[in-house]
Structure formats: C-alpha cells, structure tokens
Chain A
Amino acid sequence: MAEFTAEVYQNEFLPEGGTDVNAIVTLTCSGAGSAGQTGSGDAGEIIIVDTSGSMGRTKLEAAKVAAAAAVDQIIDGTWFAIVAGTHQAYLAFPLVRSGRGMVQMDSNARYAAHQAISQFRSDGGTAMGTWLMLAGRLFDSVPGLAQRHAILLTDGENHNETPEQLTNAIHSVTGKFQCDCRGVGVDWQVAEVRRIAQALLGSVDIIPEPDQMSQVFAELMQQSMGRGIADAQLRVWAPQGAQVLFVRQVSPTVEDLTSRRVEINPLTGGYPTGSWGDESRDYHVSVRLAAKAIGQEQLAARVQFAVGDQVVAQGLVKAKWSDDEGLTTRINPEVAHYTGQTELAEAIQEGLAAKAAGDDETATKKLGRAVQLAEQTGNEEATTRLRKVVDIEDSETGTVRLKRAVDKVDEMALDTASTKTTRIRG
C-alpha cells in the first residue's frame, strides 16, 4: 500500500507589516508499486523513434537496439505501441489500420514488436508535432488507460513544422500523456524539445553518442514501469484575499507550475504532477497575505498531495507576526537554497541563449552568476558542466571568461541539465 507524507520547511515568523510567506514542501511517496499493477487501471506506453533521413545508418541501427531494449522493459499486460516519425507519423506497431492502436504486452507481442522495429528505415524530414498527435490518438483508442507515458527520440530540428504548428500540437496533447524526450547527437534544439517535455511533465536530456541510446531507453522505461501512482496532483489552498505568488517544483528539477493551476474550489488550485514512483519531490510555494497585527497567527497555505480525488497528505504553511527580530530575520535554509537553484537554472539558460545570439557580454555576466550560484548552493554537477563552457577565474565573485572553443555536446549538456537541482547540503 502506497504511503505519502508532506513536510514543510519555512520561517513562519513575519515582521510587522510582513506579507510574503515562502515555504518548501517535500512530498514523499513510498510503496508505489508498479505501473498498471495496483488495481487503479491499466498503463500505456508509446515509444516514438525519429526515423528521418538525418538519422543515417549508425544512429538508426542504434535507435533500433534502443527501442527493442525499451520494449523488453515493458511489463506484461501493459498496453503499448511504437511510432516511427519523419515529416509524417507512422504506426510501426501494432500493425493495425483501425480500432485499438495499442496492444497488451505478452511474449508474442514482444516478438512481433522486435520484428517491426527491425524494419525501420531512415527517410524524410522531422515533424514532432505530428508524432505527438498520433501518440495522443493511439492512447485515446484504448478506453480506461489510467497511466499514459511516452518516450520520444529525435536527432534534429523540427524542420517540417512551424513553431506555431508544434505549439498547437503540444496544446492538443497536454494532459493526455507524459513524455520523456531525448535528443541524440548535437543537431537538435534543446529549447524546442524542452518545450515538449515541460508541457508533457517529462524530462529532457542529451544522448551524446548513438551507442548510449539503448541504456538510456531501458532506464527510462524501467523508471516509468516503477511508477505505480498513475496520476497525482499538488493542491495549494490559500486563504480568502491571499495571492499565490508562485508554485514551483524545485527538486529533482525546477519547473514553474504557477500557470498550470486548475481550480479545485475558489480557494484551492490543483497542479498536475504526473505519475509517481517511490520518490520525493520538493515544491516552493510563495503566498502573499494581508499583514496582521503582532501576535496574530494564521495559515498561509495548506499544501496537499491528492491522488484521484483523495487528499493523501497535507502540509501546513503558517504565518505568525512577531516583534522579535531574532525570529523574523531568520532565513530558512531550504527556501534560500532553492531560491538560489532556481536562479541558477535561469542564469544558465539565459547565458547560453545570449552566447548563441553572439551577445558575449551578457553571456559572460549570466554564466558568471551561474558559477557563483552553483558554488554557493553546492551544486557540483553544475559547476563541472559550467567549467566546460567557461574558464572560472573566481567562483566566489562569479568572474569568468567564455571558452574560445566549446564542444557543442558540453554546451547542450549544460543546457539540458540546467534545471536539475541538488538537495540542501547536510
């Protein structure tokens, strides 16, 4: 039986006239079980593989091995399909033309899927929006799927669609399934693929070499199969008259959820978090209240974890107005840490964007700030990645120089990993 907990980290004391309350809420799930095996409904998986002409022989052969490795990780009974993508989208498996576009995994289906994968040929362009819309239709063809997840592999830019077409496609499938996206090589656009992953509650990462693909695919599928909680929601209640300034996931990655609010009731907003395995995620909630008199106490937010319509855990964010400066000036270490990590992600992305646009001055400033923040918040992984793009003169002050020659892979890896956060030290 799955168990859920919510822990709150904050300084609840506000000075006279203080209005803004910040808290980090850690939600933890344990005993999640396996996808589709917990009695709450079946799971569905779709593997989307780029088979455009640019894949060439090496990448395509590696992609076949990777797709087969992912198929091998799908638990029997799980509904699945394989999509081959070019400037169009093809249903590579199952071989049907109407009715249900997915089949349940068993040994026969697994064998037939391997056969279908081996038939992949590289040809044509890239239209990721079309691939996503086909995946959406396939999921819809199987009624009652509780959990829907896809893996998308691409190697290039979305040449055969306008950005608007991609945006519309993303909109049309948002909320229908989750999608982890991977780019192989260095010819794809991080920002473009990140857009898909963020909207579809998935991750984005680079696979520098084709032979690394099969391990990545196996792991992604394994992780998805370990998510027994099909769909959970973060809920934030704030008192009447209060303003929820923002709601962010801050660990394991930074994702701003504020605009994804759906109204549960006038005082409570729901934010989708997708499926859960045995894991912890941290959220930063910021609420603005009307100031009250010294000595007053009130609730600033109830942060709830809901599975279906059931609230399974709740954390209380409080506000107490005090004239004791020893209490009100304390900075909560968790809030400070994640505020820094959020700024770190922004500094990296803005710095790389400026660098790509040829604005070296802004790039140097932003990446310097990123180095400084990575140092302050103890994010050694970010420091290591930054070191491949800039020469660090002084990490404390954030003094850096842009490297003359940067490996494109390193720059893209820095970009895709920019939202990854570390937990607080100690």
Chain B
Amino acid sequence: MTDHLAQSATAPPAAIPQSDGSLSCPHCGAEVAAQEAFCEACGGALTPTAAAPAGAPDTMAPPIEITRSLKTEDEDTVVVARPCANCGGVIGADGYCETCGTKAPTERDHYTEHPASWVAACCDRGLRHHRNEDATAVAAEPTPGSRAVLVVCDGVSTSLDSDVASLAAARAARDVLVAHRPAGLGTPASRVAAIAGAVVKAVSAANAAVIDKTARDSDNAASCTFAAAVVEADLVVFGNVGDSRVYWLPDPGSGGDPTELSVDDSVAQARIEMGTPREEAESGPQAHAITKWLGRDSPDFTPRTGSISVQPPGWVVVCSDGLWNYASEATALQSLVVEISAPSSDPLTLAVALVDWAKGRGGKDNISVALARL
C-alpha cells in the first residue's frame, strides 16, 4: 500500500476511516474504497489514500496488470482545484461557483480511463441529463494487441441511483473478466467458450452489484444495460444485455467490413427483426425501450454472446446509445472514426473526440465510449 498523505488545502478531502475499518465518503457518508478518486454514491472528489490494486481477485497469478486511471497517480501529484468552467471564478466548498453559481462538474460527470497505450475509455454526462448514469470500466495488458477488457453499462434514467449502480456493475464485470484465466491451451473453440462463459459470469456479478446498490425499500429499483468485449490478440469475444453496443471497425482498405457485433435487446431491434427498416425502427415509438436489463426487477439478464476473429488494423468499440444514437450503422461509425481520428491512432484522443462529437450533435443522453486499438 502506498500512502498519499501529501495534500494541499485545495486537494479534495480523503475518505474518513470508520471504526469497523471501512472508509466513508466525507461528502455523503457512503462507503468508499481507499484508491477511489471519487465517491460512487455522490460523485464527490476524493484524494485516494492508496494506489489502485495491482492484482485482480485471482492474486496467485494475476493474468494482466491493471492500471486504473486515478486522479492522483503518484505521491507527488497535488490536485489543484479547477476554476469555474463557465466564468473562471472560484468554486465554493459546496461545489458551485462563487461568482456565477454554475455547478462544477463532478468526477462522476466526466472521466477517462487509459490503462494501456492501446486502450482507453471516456464517460460523460452529455448535455441534457443532470447526472451521468453511464459507466465504463476497462483494463489492459501493456503490450498493444495482447489482452484487454472493455465494459460499458448505461443506467436506466427512470430508476433511482442508476449512476451508482451502473458504475458498480461495470467495475464488478471488469474484475470478473480480468480475473478470468483460460485453463490450458485448448482449441480456439474451447477458448471462445471459456471466455463467453466468463462474460456470463461477469453479467451475474454486475447484476449482483446493481442489486447491492439498490435501497432495500426502493420501489423504483436501479437498473442498467451491459456491453463488454474481451480482446485476446485477434480474438474478440463480446456480450450484451440491453442496447449498449460492441462494434468492430477495421481501418478502411485493410480488408473486412465494419460490423455491429452485438444485438440490442430493444423494441427497435425487435421491429427490425420483423422487417422494419433500421432507421424507421430506431426513430419509432418506444424505440429506446429495452427488453432486457440488469437489476432487482430484471426477469432475465442472460447476455447474447458471440465472437469474431478480426484482422487488424482497426478498432474495437464498446459504447452506449448516447454515441450510437448519432451514428448507428457500423459504416457510419467507421466513417466518423476515420474523420475524427486520422492520422492519430491514440485511443484516448479518439474516445474524447467521439464524446465531444456526440455532444456537438446535441448530447441528449449520457455518452460512453471504450476503445481498443488493434
């Protein structure tokens, strides 16, 4: 454990130790972990008091090194309070500008993850919603194209505490997928089956995390979607519940077609399968109503899983509908990626650019993008 005791007056407060050994958020009192840079419950900024755990639950032989994006990544970093984004004024202790009153964005409203040079994610509130109920959780081995886990969960905005639940779900799923270690060499088919099995387990863990974050007496149980991709060299195994998506977008001219790998559990998808043209189905009534989700009131959260052997170079994209609402077809998303990423192939730059692009198109929903460059 590394202690981060160096703090300035402007750094966010650290979690408060409780008598039972747990830590509580100084803003809202919810339980937090030592390495967290913000509270999952209220989004308040925290100064982590420990580095991210280097190992996944399987500590005997951690399959990959995880590096979580923390606000304070080394001991010497001092978090400086940012001025108001609207007027440049001072942000008060209550989280609002002391001059113009604008709410300072919380860490939960916008964050990025960049565990390895070839993998990144960006998660953002968008423009029209008051909370960011989307969540991403990614992990990767350092070697480009080796092994990565990308998870996106989209909280259902009509339910309570969906922002807390979705983040817990995404992290729980990521941890299961990171911990999964294929036994032996096996055939390609058995590898796929093993990873797909891990995806099913990850969904169960995510579902348990959502229920755990749901108040027992809540009459509006928290719920969220799930989409994940596990990359092992050129093998991509994916799964989803609800309408968050996984795409494979090869670079143009490298052979192969851009493909939407996941299949939505949505009213729109049901209509497409009955023959309604995609554009009409996706803009029709109830198009965004999902037919499967995670949470206490979910009758069925079995993911649809699949796999593909890809031919790099290209991008694995896992995203929420806050992005694909503005570019649904795989070809449209491919063109967009080419347009805004070229000539760079840095995943963090692209993830942030895609989020900004969706905000430029109206930002009607929360936006999440997780990317792996192959």
Contact across chains for A267 and B96 when beta carbons are under 8 A apart: no
- With a CB–CB cut-off of 8 A, which chain A residues contact B97? 239, 298-299
Cβ of B70 within 8 Å of any chain A Cβ, yes or no, is no
The secondary structure that dominates the A interface is loop
Q: How far is the CA of A300 from the CA of B97 in the complex (A)?
A: 11
Q: Is the CB of A299 within 8 A of B103?
A: yes
User: Size range of the interface on B?
Assistant: 10 to 19
Most buried by B among A238, A299, A300, A322: A299
Which of A59-67, A179-187, A276-284, A289-297 is the contact stretch?
Answer: A289-297
Neighbour of B101 across the interface among A239, A294, A314, CB < 8 A: A239
Please tell me if B361 contacts chain A, counting CB pairs below 8 Å: no
Which of B96, B99, B102, B128 touches A295 (beta carbons < 8 Å)? Answer: B128
Evaluate contact between A298 and B102: CB separation under 8 angstroms. Answer: yes
Asked whether A297 and B103 contact (CB < 8 A) given A240-B87, A302-B94, A314-B94, the answer is yes
Q: Give bound CA distance, A242 to B99, whole Å.
A: 11
In the complex, which residues 237-295 of chain A have their Cβ closer than 8 Å to any Cβ of chain B? 238-242, 267, 289, 293-295
Provide the residues of chain B in CB contact with A293, threshold 8 Å: 127
Chain B residues within 8 Å of A296, by CB: 102
| A292, closest chain B residue (CB) | B102
Residue contact A239 to B99, C-beta cutoff 8 Å: yes
Chain B residues positioned under 8 Å from A239 (CB to CB) = 97, 99-102
Asked if B129 is an interface residue, CB under 8 A from chain A, the answer is: yes
Whether B96 contacts A320 by the Cβ 8 Å rule is no
Contact of A298 among B96, B98, B126 (CB under 8 A): B96
Q: Which residues of A contact B125 (CB under 8 A)?
A: 295
Which one, A238, A289, A323, contacts B128 given CB within 8 A? A323
List A contacts of B102 (CB < 8 A).
239, 296-299
**Which residues of B from 83 to 134 have beta carbons under 8 Å from A?**
87, 92, 94, 96-103, 125-130
Q: Does the CB pair B363–A300 fall under 8 Å?
A: no
Nearest residue (CB) in A for B103 is A297
Chain A residues numbered 309-341 whose CB sits less than 8 Å from any CB in chain B: 314, 316, 320, 322-323
User: Smallest distance from the beta carbon of B110 to chain A beta carbons, Å?
Assistant: 13
Are B128 and A299 in contact, with the CB atoms below 8 A?
no
Return A61 CB to nearest CB of chain B, in Å: 58
Asked whether B94 lies within 8 Å of A298 as measured between CB atoms, the reply is no
- A344 CA to B134 CA, complexed, in Å: 48
Report chain A residues within 8 Å CB of B94.
299, 302, 314, 316
Smallest Cβ distance from A352 to chain B, in angstroms? 42
Q: A239 vs B86: C-alpha distance in the bound complex, in angstroms? A: 12
Least Cβ–Cβ distance between B169 and chain A, in angstroms:
24
User: CA separation between A316 and B94, bound complex, in Å?
Assistant: 9
Query: What residues of B have a CB within 8 angstroms of the CB of A297 in the complex?
Result: 102-103, 130
Contact partners of A316 in chain B: CB under 8 A: 94, 96
Which residue of chain B has the shortest Cβ distance to A317 in the bound complex?
A: B101
Q: How large is the interface on A (under 10, 10 to 19, 20 to 34, 35 or more residues)?
A: 20 to 34
Which chain B positions have C-beta within 8 A of A314?
94
Residues of A near B101 (CB, < 8 A) are 238-239, 242, 289, 298-300
Interface residues of B in 127-169 (CB under 8 A from A): 127-130
CA gap between A322 and B92 in the complex, in Å:
24
A265, chain B: closest CB distance, angstroms: 10
Known contacts: A295-B363, A302-B94, A314-B94. The answer to whether A267 contacts B99 by CB under 8 A is yes
Candidates A241, A295, A299; contact of B130 at CB < 8 Å? A295
Nearest A residue to B363 by beta-carbon distance?
A: A295
- Residue on B nearest A238 in the bound complex, by CB: B101
Query: A395 CA to B189 CA in the complex, in Å?
Result: 81
CB nearest neighbor in A for B99: A240
Q: Give the shortest distance, in Å, between A300 (CB) and chain B (any CB).
A: 7
Which residues of the partner chain A approach B129 to less than 8 Å between Cβ atoms? 295
Mark contacts of B214-227 with chain A using CB atoms, 8 A cut-off: 1 yes-contact digit, 0 otherwise.
00000000000000
Contacts of A294 in B (CB 8 A): 127-128
Write out the residue numbers on chain A whose beta carbons fall within 8 Å of the beta carbon of B363: 295
- Are B103 and A298 touching (Cβ within 8 A)? yes
Residue of B nearest to A316 (CB): B94
- B367 CB to closest chain A CB (Å) equals 12
Nearest CB in chain A: distance from B67 CB, A: 32
Within the complex, what minimum Cβ distance (angstroms) separates A241 from chain B?
7
A-B contact pairs, 25 of them (CB 8 A): A239-B100, A239-B102, A241-B100, A242-B101, A267-B99, A289-B101, A293-B127, A295-B125, A295-B126, A295-B129, A295-B363, A297-B102, A297-B130, A298-B96, A298-B97, A298-B100, A298-B101, A298-B103, A299-B94, A299-B103, A302-B92, A302-B94, A314-B94, A320-B130, A322-B130
A267-B99, A297-B103, A302-B92 given; name 10 further pairs at CB < 8 Å: A239-B102, A242-B101, A295-B130, A297-B130, A298-B102, A298-B103, A299-B96, A302-B94, A316-B96, A323-B128
A-side interface residues toward B, CB under 8 Å?
Answer: 238-242, 267, 289, 293-300, 302, 314, 316, 320, 322-323
Chain A to chain B: the 8 pairs with minimum beta-carbon distance, closest first: A239-B101, A299-B101, A295-B128, A299-B96, A297-B103, A298-B101, A295-B127, A239-B100
